[in-house]
Amino acid sequence: MTTSEGMVDLTDAELVRDPFTAYSRIRERAALAKAVVPGIEPMWLVTRYDDVKLVMSDPRFVSSAAAVPGAVDLREQLWRATGIPEEHFVYLKAGVSEVDGAEHARLRGLVTRAFTVRRVTELRPRIAELTERLLDELPGRAEDGVVDLLRHFAYPLPIAVICELVGIPEKDRPQWRDWSAALAAGFGPGVAEALAGMVDHVRVLLEFRRHHPADDLITGLVRAQAEDGDRLSDVEMIALVQNLVVAGHETTAHLLANGTAALLTHPDQLALLRADPALLPKAVHELMRWCGPGLGTRMRYAAEDVEIGGELVRRGEAVMPVLAGANYDPREFATPERLDITRDPGRAETHVGFGAGPHYCLGAALARQEAEIAFGALFRRYPGLALAVEPEELRHGPNPGTWQLDALPVRW
Ligand code: HEM
């Protein structure tokens, strides 16, 4: 797991296979660890709960390398190493996650209204309807009585929801699904093609909504631009839409699949949930903690020297908060390796699976609600649902940033 220089190799097979155990080991060795990814300079990892929250929340850490004179932009190095053409950097850099302070508040403010708890609650009936429709179709998708729940339920539900909200027409959704999959796979010409395809398509949609407004987020952005003079640029609008669609379904799909697999392999917890569906919100918090898809966040840069665990992170150095380390930290969670859907956090959300601080996940309320509806309906509609393979045969994808299954074969 470590290189000859004692650094953590983030692409190491053992770490990718069982990140929760690997990061726990790293966390108990020291507060800070140096890590490498091929093609970019080393960065720090923080894995302890308090340190992870600190790096995500403390203004001494920023998202944009450009905000710290002399800092090397590791994100840009990563894009280059991934083969993303230089002309796309402008869109990636305009993303809401990449900027800080007033710029960040301005961009985030444009879309926050679409994701408030109240607005998300209004979507509940529509999400339930989409869920029931997909569940109706499941038996028809089966081959020899086995269906891949990731492909036929966990993916299509969140992409349908976010595309409706944003305003991507139904006929174009399979294309967006393919583009997002290419981005998530993370390497090669497919990534460049996907980015180019998304940018061109959002441009067309924005132009269309300028003349044919509807009740969707793209129309909201067009209106904001008209009211706001020149402040909101086309590049920013394209970056926002692309960000939302990709962030809005890829992770949610893996929460649905990981969570279903976790409940099917912990029948005592599933029985508790079946006996008392009011446990659903707590169960979703616990599944986010125990098998949440986001293993780490984007790296942050120290805007000044900061001491963490007795060691110094120097100004300009990059730090990645490891959510999977924090969510299994025994300093915060009793017996963290135990899945316990009755775990009472005391507060609404103690895990850091949706991040923390100013970049806290914009879609957290939406993702939680989709998961509550999806788990509730799935286990009610298919009481005999079971894995169609042995648990140890479930394969996790090779993405070091996301805890994701390749497939989730089930039978009922
Ligand atoms: C289970 C599902 C999800 C997980 C695990 C997740 C996780 C995260 C995490 C960890 C962050 C913080 C990243 C950082 O600090 O660098 C984040 C930010 C973000 N998420 Fe999510 N997310 C999920 C669903 C969604 C959905 C449904 C949307 C759609 C609206 C969304 C949109 C965003 C956006 C736009 C940001 C950037 C916010 C900012 O920088 O201010 N996410 N998400």
Q: What whole-number distance in Å separates Cα of residue 365 and Cα of residue 116?
A: 7
Rounded to the nearest 10 degrees, the angle between the axes of helix 280-291 and helix 267-275 is: 160
Q: Give the whole-angstrom CA distance, residue 94 versus residue 399.
A: 24
Protein residue with its CA nearest to atom 30 in ligand 1: 363
Ligand 1: distance of its center to the CA of 28 in Å? Answer: 27
**Among the listed ranges 260-264, 369-373, 396-400, which one has the minimum average pLDDT value?**
396-400
Range of the domain at 16: 8-411
CA distance 99 to 67: 9
User: With pLDDT > 70 as the criterion, what percentage of the chain qualifies?
Assistant: 98
**Pocket residue to mutate for ligand 1, from 54, 165, 361, most atoms within 8 A of Cβ:** 361
pLDDT at 82 (0 to 100): 83
CA of 80 to the centre of ligand 1 (A): 23
Residue whose CA is at the smallest distance from ligand 1 atom 9: 354
Maximum CA extent, the chain: 60
Check pLDDT > 70 for residue 311: yes
Helix axes 364-381, 280-291, angle to 10 degrees: 110
Closest CA to 126 of 150, 168, 158: 158
Burial group, residue 13, by CB count within 10 angstroms (0-12, 13-18, 19+): exposed
Q: Residue 383 in contact with residue 135, Cβ under 8 Å?
A: no
* C-beta of residue 379 within 8 angstroms of C-beta of residue 263: yes
DSSP string, 109-163: HHHHGGGSHHHHHHTHHHHHHHHHHHHHHHHHH-BTTBEEHIIIIITHHHHHHHH
Q: Which residue has the tokens 């169960």?
A: 283
Specify if 318 maps to a domain: yes
In a domain, 1, yes or no: no
Quick one: tokens of 170?
């139904």
Residue 112: its pLDDT value, please? Answer: 87
Exposure of 341 in the CB half-sphere (CA atoms within 13 A) = 26
Provide the 10 A C-beta neighbour count for residue 208: 16
Distance 109 CA to ligand 1 centre (A): 15
- Number of domains the chain contains: 1
Report the atom number in ligand 1 closest to the C-alpha of 158. Answer: 27
Question: What mean pLDDT value characterizes the chain?
Answer: 92
Which residues lie closer than 8 Å to 145 by C-beta, 6 or more apart? Answer: 388, 411
Do 73 and 298 touch, CB atoms closer than 8 A?
Answer: no
Q: Which CATH number fits the domain that encloses residue 327? A: 1.10.630.10
Name the least confident of 189-203, 315-329, 360-374.
Answer: 189-203
Q: Is residue 3 part of a domain?
A: no
More confident residue, 225 or 64: 64
- What are the pLDDT digits (tens) for 177-210? 899 888 877 766 788 889 999 999 999 999 999 9
Tell me: the pLDDT tens digits for 134-156? 999 999 999 999 999 999 999 99
Whose alpha carbon is nearest atom 34 of ligand 1?
362
Pocket of ligand 1 (CB under 6 A): 56, 96-97, 108, 115, 162, 243-244, 247-248, 251-252, 255, 292-294, 297-298, 353-355, 359, 361-363, 366-367
pLDDT given at position 347: 61
What is d(CA 306, CA 55) in angstroms, rounded to the nearest whole number?
10
